[in-house]
Every structure is written in C-alpha cells, then in structure tokens.
Structure 1
Amino acid sequence: MSDNVLNQLRNKRNRPTVTPRQDALVPQEQPQTTEQSLPPQPTPITELANPTADTIAELQAELEKYPQTRRHSAIVLEKDLDQKLTQFCKELGITVEVFLEAAWTVASADNELVEKITTEAKRRYDQRKRVGQIKRLITMLTNPSK
C-alpha cells in the first residue's frame, strides 16, 4: 500500500506545464524611429555580460569615492511618527535611513539645533524607559509563578 501512496505523490508532482502568458502590463518592445536623436543609455551593471578587469577596476574606483555604509540595529519609532515618516520618505522616493543620515548631517552643523534635538531625545528616552518598566511590572503581576 505504501508503494501505491508513493506513486500517487510522484504522479501529482509531474503536472503538465502551462505555456507562459503574455502580460499586458509589461510594455512590449517597439522599434524606435528616432533612435539617432536619443542619447545613448548607460548600460546597467546587471547587463554586463563579460566584465573585464578594467571594468571591475573602474567600478571599484568609483565605489571608493562614496562613503562606506554599515548596517545599524533596527529602529523603533512611535507608531504615528513611523507612519508619517514612512509616508513622507515614500513620497520623496528615499528611505527612512537615508533621511535620518541627511537630517543628522544638516543638524550637526547647528549647535543650537543639536541641543534642541538632544533635549527632546532625552525626554523620549526617559519615556521609553518608563514604558518598559510598566510592561515588565504588568508581566510580573500577571505571571506571579515565574
């Protein structure tokens, strides 16, 4: 009987394939009549079929011109603030992280602005600590056996 079940599973796995459909949302390539008047488009890096040592060296040299990045821990924000900031950044076509980088770069040049931001940050930090304490107390009181 187990051979019969195994055969049934194998038969289910060998389903007929469906021919790919034409997607109406993907634009079809059309020949351009004004090809000579358009400036040549730079080749995306993903389309480089055979990168040469020179190409790689050029790309590495270009990469060295930009500041290095480092992944930082996850950011926890107030719910309403997160929604507003995310929407704001989405409309501008940037990420929240890039916005925070730029905001720090601009703010750090103004000592008075840094002082205002620091005061607000300390207030929010104390508030977050209190929320954490309250949550911990609630957990301890609802689970006294632990």
Structure 2
Amino acid sequence: MSDNVLNQLRNKRNRPTVEPRQDALVPKVQPEPQTEEQNSPQETSPVPATDNPTATPADTIAELQAELEKYPETRRHSAIVLEKDLDQELTRFCKDRGITVEVFLEAAWTFANADNALLEKITTEAKRRYDQRKRVGQIKRLITMLSNSAK
C-alpha cells in the first residue's frame, strides 16, 4: 500500500511542461518589405518601441541598466514600528492615494528637510515619542521579570 501511495505522489510531480515564452521586452523582428502602397500610418503598440528593432537581450539589458542608473539608488531599511491607530490611519491614507508608507516617508522627509522650523517641530515630537517608547519597553520588561519571579 505504501508503494502505491509513493507512486501516486511521484506521478503527481510529473506535470506537463510548458514551452518557454519569448522575451516580452525584445521586439519580434518581422521583415516586411514596404511598398509604395503600404505608406499608410502604422498602428501604435502599447509597448514602447526600441531604437533598434534587432536588439538582442544583452542590448535590452544594457538599455534597462542605463535607464535604471538615472534613478536614485534605494536601500532596505529596518521594519517600521508605529502606534496601532496611527499605523491604520497612515496605511489607509497611503492606500487611498496609491503609494506606500515608505514612499510617503521619503517625500515627507524631503519637504521637512527643506524647512528648518518644520524639521525642528518634527524632531521635538519624535524625541517625545522615542522617550515614550523607551518607557513602554521598560514597563514591559519589568512586567515580564516580575511575572517570571512570581512563578
């Protein structure tokens, strides 16, 4: 019976394979000689055409890498811990506008950094919140220590 179950499991793994797809970023070359009768405007495609219709994948990668270099480099930062109500409010705000909390934080920093008075107000509030978080951590640690010693 166990051999039968094992064979059934092995047979389930042997799924049919799908043929590999063409690279969607590399335009297909369709040699079509133009005659004088075919001078009508051609339809536009939703994918932007490249300068070189015979581009190879290496050329496409090079073009994409060149375009990527125009944008600022990003780096993953630590997870953000927020007050529960503030997190829900901020998440809803960003979701309604089609942005992420991280991108909103970047934009807010950009504007706050340009205004010293606003930056000082934000820093004062941040210090108050930081002290509050430290106290919450101390209280939780004391509760854990006292509950463990009572056992």
| 1:74 has 2:79 as partner | yes
| 1:6 has 2:3 as partner | yes
1:112 pairs, out of 89, 100, 117, with 117
Q: CA deviation at 1:39?
A: 4.0
Matches of 1:56 and 1:131, distance apart in 2: 50
Aligned residues: 119
Q: Equivalent residue for 2:102?
A: 97
Matches of 2:58 and 2:6, distance apart in 1: 50
Backbone CA RMSD of aligned residues: 2.7
Which letter does structure 1 place at the counterpart of 2:148? N
Matches of 1:80 and 1:122, distance apart in 2: 19
Q: CA deviation at 1:38?
A: 6.6
| TM-score between the two structures when normalised by the length of structure 2 | 0.69
2:64 pairs, out of 29, 44, 59, with 59
| TM-score between the two structures when normalised by the length of structure 1 | 0.71
Q: Equivalent residue for 1:30?
A: none
Q: Equivalent residue for 2:19?
A: none
**TM-aligned CA distance change 1:8 to 1:60, over 3 Å:** closer
**TM-aligned CA distance change 1:8 to 1:62, over 3 Å:** closer
- What CA deviation, in whole Å up to 9, does each residue of 1:53-87 have, x standing for no partner? 32222111110000000000000000000001011
Q: Equivalent residue for 1:144?
A: 149
Q: CA deviation at 1:131?
A: 0.1
Q: Which runs of 5+ in 2 are unaligned?
A: 13-40, 49-54
Q: Equivalent residue for 1:84?
A: 89
Instruction: Report percent identity of matched pairs.
Output: 74
Q: CA deviation at 1:8?
A: 3.6
Q: Which runs of 5+ in 1 are unaligned?
A: 16-35, 44-49
